[in-house]
Structure formats: structure tokens, C-alpha cells
Amino acid sequence: MFTIALTGGIGSGKSTVSALFQALGAVIIDADAISRALTAQHGEALPQIAAAFGAHLVDANGTLDRIALRQLVFADAQARQRLEAILHPRISAEIRRRVAAVTGPYVIVDIPLLFETGQADLADRILVVDLSEQQQVERVQARSGLDPQEIRRIMDTQVSRSERLRGADDIIDNSGDKVALPAQIQQLHQRYLELAASKARAQTL
């Protein structure tokens, strides 16, 4: 299956881009949704999270204290690495399982932490949604009301904009108005259909 990894920094507009591709017929696999399922009530990853960070993070009903865990991992890089070691292999395995089951022309895997977690090998191409760091801060603040310093701290846990761009095969410029997005996505959609067809032909030879 021809696979595109979609990534970008916080506030870049990945969800909007995913929705537009989906409207054109692309299959979308959301890594964040898989992560939320793993950490939902009685989720598969909760026993290991409780063992690693303390049973107090999971209540008697099997519900994770997400706020406490988020504060812990953003304040402690080693804690964040421990959490990633629990979640990311499970997320990667589930993504591969879902990709193998796709019957559409191509699949887009929305992975915000693609480079940070070393999962670039999941895809045939990497698509980065790009805008300036200042725009990231402004858009996240408008959406969530977070303090700009808190947004910057989150951004500091992600790879830099320049590193994302170096790793990109394709780039969507989301620095302007949303009306500029559909034309870019339509062009990429046609390109991906061609590449998917080419890959399928090669596999039948």
C-alpha cells in the first residue's frame, strides 16, 4: 500500500489537511487517536504506565490522570522518553496493521511526532505541513488559550522546523488563509494517485 506520513509542528493545521485529503478519498490513520485508545479507560498501555510512573495515575475505575501525566513528561525529558518507549512501539504496530488492511488507492498516516519517534520508515513519502514558528504560537494560543511560553515549551519537545523541512518529500504551505489549502492538496492528491498506481504496477511485475 502506498503510504504517506503526514506531520508538522503543533498548530500547523494537520487535522485540516487530513480532512481535506479524506474528502478526496484518501484513507486516514490517526496516530494520536491510536494513542488515546491505548490510554483510554482500561486501555492496553495503562498497566505499564502505572508501573513506570506510579499507580496513583490510574484510578480505581481504570482512568488515567492525563493532566498529571502530561505535566510530568513535559517537565522531565527522561519521563517523556519512558512514556514514548511504552506507547510508540504499540502505536507503530497498530499503524502497520491498519495500513496492511487498507484497500483504497493510498493511505495517509497522521503522525505529529514522526521524526521524534523515528517512524519515518512507515511511509513511502513524508508530507510536512509548514508555517512559521510565530504563526504556530499564534494559532495554538487562539485555539486553546495556552500561554505563549507554554506553547514554546511544547514546541521545544518537537524537532525544529528546519529539521522537519529537511526530512520532507512534499511540503504544504499553511502560512496563509485556509482557502489556499485545497488547491495544494488537490495537486498532491493527483500526484499520490499516480505514485500509488506506479507502485502497484511494480509490485505485480
Name the DSSP class of 55: G
Say whether 11 counts as a known binding-site residue: yes
Q: What is the pLDDT of residues 49-94, one digit of tens each?
A: 999 988 888 888 889 988 888 888 877 888 888 998 999 899 989 9
Say whether 54 counts as a known binding-site residue: no
Say whether 162 counts as a known binding-site residue: no
The candidate with the shortest Cα–Cα distance to 63, out of 42, 48, 85, 79, is 42
Pick the CATH number of 3-197 from 3.40.50.300, 2.40.50.140, 1.10.1740.110, 3.40.50.150: 3.40.50.300
Kindly list the domain boundaries of the chain, sorted by start residue.
Answer: 3-197
Say whether 12 counts as a known binding-site residue: yes
Report the Cα–Cα distance between both ends of the chain, in Å, rounded: 15
Q: What is the pLDDT of residues 14-47, one digit of tens each?
A: 999 999 999 999 999 999 999 999 999 888 999 9
As a whole number of angstroms, the distance between CA 47 and CA 54 comes to 10
Q: pTM of the entire structure?
A: 0.86
Say whether 16 counts as a known binding-site residue: yes
Ranking 110-114, 178-182, 187-191 by mean pLDDT, the lowest is 178-182
- Predicted local confidence at residue 66, as pLDDT: 87
Say whether 62 counts as a known binding-site residue: no
167 Cβ contact partners less than 8 Å away, ≥ 6 residues apart: 115, 120, 126, 128
